[in-house]
Structure 1
């Protein structure tokens, strides 16, 4: 209770802190437009006002998509510095005594800057705690979506189910424009596929998250920055893509941005309709009963989703703004499967033939409100964010299976239905204050409160000789409630030529779960401290090399649904079950990264996990002929990793970004120690030709690894694409082929009394041919449309 009062008091103080607390003084504006020699705007260039006396930075910013920049600064004598990779730096003396418009500034291409070293460095850039992938204007993104281009981020891997990892670490947070992505799993995949990659400026990969990020960022953070809309009054795009594997799919999308006076409006809609299939072969042995099962599953289905959002931002003053945004995401899917299992028990054969139909429908509603104010010209700011999420979902399963003896006679039937309605509500409020005392030193403080509640039920009905009745023995009604209070502080400064970041986050958690059917209640309450430290030093000519050291302690909380003890059938002989006894896991991670010639990167890391949450395959205690998938806490895990990233400019028209990652880990659980080695190799080739033509070819290979007690074989993925731009880049055609080799998923699981081997061949999520067309439009005068921020990432990801 004491922790709750302290943290809530901090939040209340921050939220009620009046804007008058931030002295604003007198400031004037310097504005202008950056263009190249051909008259095209130079977007996202760095623009700095340097004190004329000592050359130190006073104020700064970047040019917009149209090349326009605008910087506010106190009166004084300055040097205006305008620079961008591939161009000569331009400087201009400024005596700032009033608002100043310097007009159009032409940046000339630099042959030296266009050398191999800098061109390849432009794609990847290393900072103290992160790797930055610059995609603005890159031919790699044409005709692709965000999920497609995440493969260009060193160490990042996204599978077809929405699981994202950095250097082999899962539980990765995804942010877009400082805004939390509120989805996970297949929903996240669908969302990333609707977000066009051509709107991306950069992707930041943060393997070791700092104190300002949720403590439940054990796997790191992927932060995507989209282009600010520097458009003439209104702009947007419309597009459509068609995909084909065994089944067809299509995805239309549209977005619109508009600004008038102090009001900014953004809207987006997308639809995804696609068919999918999965062929699965399984072989399971139970040693004590001398039972062997050989099963085949043929699944097919269709998924339809709709996503829309509407955001409004109002400029209260030149330095403060407020906004609201509402989002809605709906997904409806149907999956049907036919399964056949041949069994032998002590040499006696039998078989089971069955069919399943599963319908799922999910509706997510989100609302966000925020207030933000810039407190000085150095970049200090305060913001407060409130979020609400309401997720209503449900699935309905119909299963019918017949059992046969060795003569083919029916010996039994298992015919049942399962209804799984659920409702999740999440409320969060957050406040952050960033204070920059100079261009080299800044302090950050923040607080957050989150309140989550879940109602989830499972109702079974069984066909008993033609009469349907409730099966209370398998039904369950479940309730869950959780509160999290958090506060953090962080300092970023330079000391003896070193860039240092030190942070501490404190989180208090209180949760309760209750099964009304089982009359079982579980409670947990704990307070944790999460320190983080980053140290970077640059050296060499023009500081082209750097060494960075990082440490952090993080927590990984279970997904909300894991606590629910109900059972979800996968087939007659396999199911997924919850675990109300699951506990959070913790990780201490250390890493050292060297960057050479501003482009070649090598990272060595060590992580120690306690209570690692892993999914395992185990023999069902209720049915000895059945296996279940269950999340459990492993005792400990030590992981040693090494990653290498090397961008290479092979020719003027061919760029290559190659990556290598290897890991060795030791896993202990219940007295059993397991040693594993894993390696992955990736290569992204981009080709730029004349007359708007470009192409890419990428490959990824992983030698396989272990999740819990499941051993996964190696996987190879190859993708290729070609792009044609026309009409001054406003019209884009693209053709892409994904998973050319049709890679399958091959898994083995072992236990004291069983062995299980599963092979999946999937279509729709990974292997397909896709063709897309996109048209960009704009009208009106040049404006910048602002985005609404959000602050409930951790809770939304756990939905």
Structure 2
């Protein structure tokens, strides 16, 4: 391990000393078609016409003149823009000669202000698919979790689990910062992140070595809206939704920019009430039949705060500080009615009537530090990042139930309470260096440290002799410590019209889990793994709009922290869920071959193999007759897939994007083995009805889903939305209906120990949503810098 890190340090030192191409102090002038200077024009020099990140940027002075230094002989794609002018886009060769750029005035300036080209709902880049959320009526009143289902290949299961192309273990970033959350905590955070705050969602199915290896399913990057106006700017929004129960959300965003200082602030709040009706039936010991109905009412109340400050120390050098706070409270009341019938002996029948009340308070405080330095004029830069996350979760559960005999007379009462305070602290430090040799040849290197501390207490009391009494046999404390040291190296270049990206990441992990209970235990695990990544992109035409791509990467899925905790949670009177402190990581190898035409039509085939897969284990405890659900390294899966994406411009006012995916699952676990095909169809329709009116329709159909040992029947969803713009587009009114035909009602079978549980579930999925957003701004244009963080895989595993 020391040799591996030493190699990285030596590489950084050597690369920083490499000689650059000689730089030219390029003199330039921007003028209009009549030869008059264009004041304050913006010039961006990009490495390619498909790139979004500029190598260099410059704003011309009042006389249209500019000075910029770039390596002589390099070729760049130039985008020059100016107020009231049509952008000029062209390839330029850097030389010692002065450069003159001509901009042409817009012929219909008024129309250009009021009628803007609408960005397609789905766009495709080399390494990711982008869902453009902004200005789409379909997102009216939705949260980020609901919006994700609109992205090609993405699916959100009944418990909030996210998958890309069928692969679970997806990690979520916000503006490039990985969330240190998972499970219920992640769901609560994403439910609190509203559409009014989101610009786009990036789906990265195969991350490079630069990203943490954690996450076998890929990465989702949520890009928040950013104001780019000097002075004061921002927006306010409010929304209302109604299904069986109502909900509402509100938000405020403020931005201030003056000289070298940029300040940003965001506050959002949501409140919601929903239902979740679950009915199940299964066999029971001694030829019995168990049936149960769990009628659940959920309430959610959440707030989030995001603050950021950026200070430009000098040109190409800045420091940024950020704060992210999320404060959520949820509660659920479950009325569980269960019965056990013995057809051969009706007198032995009995039933149970229980009420389960759960309260969960989740608070997250996250602080980030980011230092950025451009080390040369060609785009090379150094990033130093630090991140500290502290969470405090306090969960409690109250269960009151009564058993009844065949005649409905009381047999026994049972009352107990759980109290489960939980604290987590995560510290990360990250350093990255990118050396740009040419616009097509770059070297990325870096290292990272992540330290995690989890402390959990479980307190249990029950009613004995008409008083609440602690049960020392069920009291325990669980302490988890994890340290990860990582280094990576990625090389990008272009050879024979083929883009090549080769990467290698090494991660050393050391863990210790301590259980202090009636029977104490300590589990330690140390391991080191290498994670290679390979990417090829072969252009098939001169523009690079048609290309073949080939990728491979290896990923790891470490257990969620909560799954390592030996907790016990009652789902109903006869079903419990427990943790497993002996869980080990699972690994995945991902392969994909793709063909893209005209930068939008895409066909790909993929293969993923999981080893030591963490899968759900369900069995009956013969002594207690309880169904026990836990997780173990008992599974392996081979997944074959083929995906076809076709966007079509049907008319000038009608655009559609369609994705069809076929998957073949070969799953083996200790409890079952299955080989089965799956079909997934997504479609999105955008309609431009008038200058200020637009409408959208989004739908998907899945013939069935497999979640561990849960086999879900067909699922579908149809959403519709409409938008009206007022006040020159600054006021937007959106209305929509989600799950119009109630296709998200679930029918499922759970297989275990040669037994079967049949399950149906109905949630508050059909809702009418209305939202209003007003944007205000004052001042000149500026570009807000992204506040990055070193937080990555640890965030995504917190419960």
SS in 1 for 2:639: strand
Q: What is the alpha-carbon distance in structure 1 between the residues aligned to residue 735 and residue 143 of structure 2?
A: 12
Give the direction of change, closer, same or farther, for the CA distance of 1:676–1:257 in structure 2 (3 Å limit): same
Give the direction of change, closer, same or farther, for the CA distance of 1:677–1:634 in structure 2 (3 Å limit): farther
Q: What is the alpha-carbon distance in structure 1 between the residues aligned to residue 27 and residue 293 of structure 2?
A: 69
Whether the 8 Å CA contact 1:88–1:108 is kept in 2: the answer is no
Is 1:688 the equivalent of 2:685?
Answer: no
Q: What is the alpha-carbon distance in structure 1 between the residues aligned to residue 630 and residue 374 of structure 2?
A: 48
SS in 2 for 1:786: coil
Is 1:629 the equivalent of 2:625?
Answer: no
What does residue 252 of structure 2 align with? Answer: 254
Whether the 8 Å CA contact 1:555–1:585 is kept in 2: the answer is yes
Write out aligned runs for 1:178-257 (5 A): 178-192=176-190, 195=193, 197=195, 202-226=200-224, 228-257=226-255
SS in 1 for 2:206: coil
- What are structure 1's unaligned runs of at least 5 residues? 36-40, 52-56, 110-118
What does residue 297 of structure 1 align with? Answer: 294
What does residue 504 of structure 1 align with? Answer: 504
SS in 2 for 1:356: strand
What does residue 590 of structure 1 align with? Answer: 591
What does residue 791 of structure 1 align with? Answer: 790
What does residue 428 of structure 1 align with? Answer: 428
- What are structure 2's unaligned runs of at least 5 residues? 34-38, 109-116
SS in 2 for 1:784: coil
Q: What is the alpha-carbon distance in structure 1 between the residues aligned to residue 349 and residue 54 of structure 2?
A: 82
Q: What is the alpha-carbon distance in structure 1 between the residues aligned to residue 123 and residue 138 of structure 2?
A: 17
Whether the 8 Å CA contact 2:80–2:88 is kept in 1: the answer is yes
What does residue 577 of structure 1 align with? Answer: 578
Is 1:388 the equivalent of 2:385?
Answer: no
Deviations 1:142-161 (A, max 9, x none): 77654454344321223464
Q: What is the alpha-carbon distance in structure 2 between the residues aligned to residue 541 and residue 97 of structure 1?
A: 27
Whether the 8 Å CA contact 1:135–1:141 is kept in 2: the answer is yes
Whether the 8 Å CA contact 1:476–1:566 is kept in 2: the answer is no
1:402 Cα deviation after fit: 0.5
Give the direction of change, closer, same or farther, for the CA distance of 1:284–1:87 in structure 2 (3 Å limit): farther
Q: What is the alpha-carbon distance in structure 1 between the residues aligned to residue 65 and residue 270 of structure 2?
A: 37
1:49 Cα deviation after fit: 7.3
What does residue 376 of structure 2 align with? Answer: 376
What does residue 535 of structure 1 align with? Answer: 536
Whether the 8 Å CA contact 2:12–2:445 is kept in 1: the answer is no
SS in 1 for 2:148: helix
Q: Which has the higher mean CA deviation after the structures are superposed, 493-502 or 167-176? A: 167-176
Whether the 8 Å CA contact 1:283–1:295 is kept in 2: the answer is yes
Give the direction of change, closer, same or farther, for the CA distance of 1:495–1:780 in structure 2 (3 Å limit): same
Is 1:338 the equivalent of 2:335?
Answer: yes
Is 1:458 the equivalent of 2:454?
Answer: no
Give the direction of change, closer, same or farther, for the CA distance of 1:89–1:338 in structure 2 (3 Å limit): same
Give the direction of change, closer, same or farther, for the CA distance of 1:672–1:145 in structure 2 (3 Å limit): closer
Deviations 1:215-242 (A, max 9, x none): 1131112234445532132211000001
1:9 Cα deviation after fit: 6.5
Deviations 1:219-271 (A, max 9, x none): 11223444553213221100000111111111110111111111111111000
1:477 Cα deviation after fit: 1.2
Whether the 8 Å CA contact 2:140–2:721 is kept in 1: the answer is no
Deviations 1:37-85 (A, max 9, x none): xxxx999x9943799xxxxx99555999xxx99994338799873389x
1:596 Cα deviation after fit: 2.1
What does residue 285 of structure 1 align with? Answer: 283
SS in 2 for 1:215: coil
Q: What is the alpha-carbon distance in structure 1 between the residues aligned to residue 434 and residue 393 of structure 2?
A: 38
What does residue 611 of structure 2 align with? Answer: 610
Give the direction of change, closer, same or farther, for the CA distance of 1:599–1:556 in structure 2 (3 Å limit): same
Give the direction of change, closer, same or farther, for the CA distance of 1:71–1:17 in structure 2 (3 Å limit): farther
What does residue 752 of structure 1 align with? Answer: 753
What does residue 36 of structure 2 align with? Answer: none
Whether the 8 Å CA contact 2:141–2:240 is kept in 1: the answer is no
Task: Output the TM-score relative to the length of structure 2.
Answer: 0.88
Q: What is the alpha-carbon distance in structure 2 between the residues aligned to residue 157 and residue 97 of structure 1?
A: 53
What does residue 356 of structure 1 align with? Answer: 356
1:298 Cα deviation after fit: 1.2
Q: What is the alpha-carbon distance in structure 2 between the residues aligned to residue 756 and residue 408 of structure 1?
A: 25
Q: Which has the higher mean CA deviation after the structures are superposed, 691-700 or 135-144? A: 135-144
What does residue 526 of structure 1 align with? Answer: 527
Give the direction of change, closer, same or farther, for the CA distance of 1:403–1:143 in structure 2 (3 Å limit): closer
Q: What is the alpha-carbon distance in structure 2 between the residues aligned to residue 62 and residue 707 of structure 1?
A: 52
Q: What is the alpha-carbon distance in structure 1 between the residues aligned to residue 544 and residue 23 of structure 2?
A: 36
Give the direction of change, closer, same or farther, for the CA distance of 1:576–1:783 in structure 2 (3 Å limit): same
What value does the CA root-mean-square deviation take over the aligned residues? 3.7
Give the direction of change, closer, same or farther, for the CA distance of 1:456–1:32 in structure 2 (3 Å limit): farther
Write out aligned runs for 1:731-770 (5 A): 731-742=731-742, 743-752=744-753, 754-763=755-764, 766-770=765-769
Whether the 8 Å CA contact 2:250–2:270 is kept in 1: the answer is yes
Q: What is the alpha-carbon distance in structure 1 between the residues aligned to residue 308 and residue 8 of structure 2?
A: 25
Question: Aligned match of 1:155 in 129, 153, 156?
Answer: 153
1:601 Cα deviation after fit: 0.8
Deviations 1:475-531 (A, max 9, x none): 321110000010010111111111111100000000011110021111111000101
Whether the 8 Å CA contact 1:616–1:710 is kept in 2: the answer is no
Whether the 8 Å CA contact 2:140–2:770 is kept in 1: the answer is no
Give the direction of change, closer, same or farther, for the CA distance of 1:29–1:462 in structure 2 (3 Å limit): farther
What does residue 715 of structure 1 align with? Answer: 715
Give the direction of change, closer, same or farther, for the CA distance of 1:663–1:351 in structure 2 (3 Å limit): same
Question: Aligned match of 1:82 in 79, 82, 93?
Answer: 79
1:282 Cα deviation after fit: 1.1
Q: What is the alpha-carbon distance in structure 1 between the residues aligned to residue 662 and residue 127 of structure 2?
A: 20
Give the direction of change, closer, same or farther, for the CA distance of 1:428–1:759 in structure 2 (3 Å limit): same
Give the direction of change, closer, same or farther, for the CA distance of 1:487–1:34 in structure 2 (3 Å limit): farther
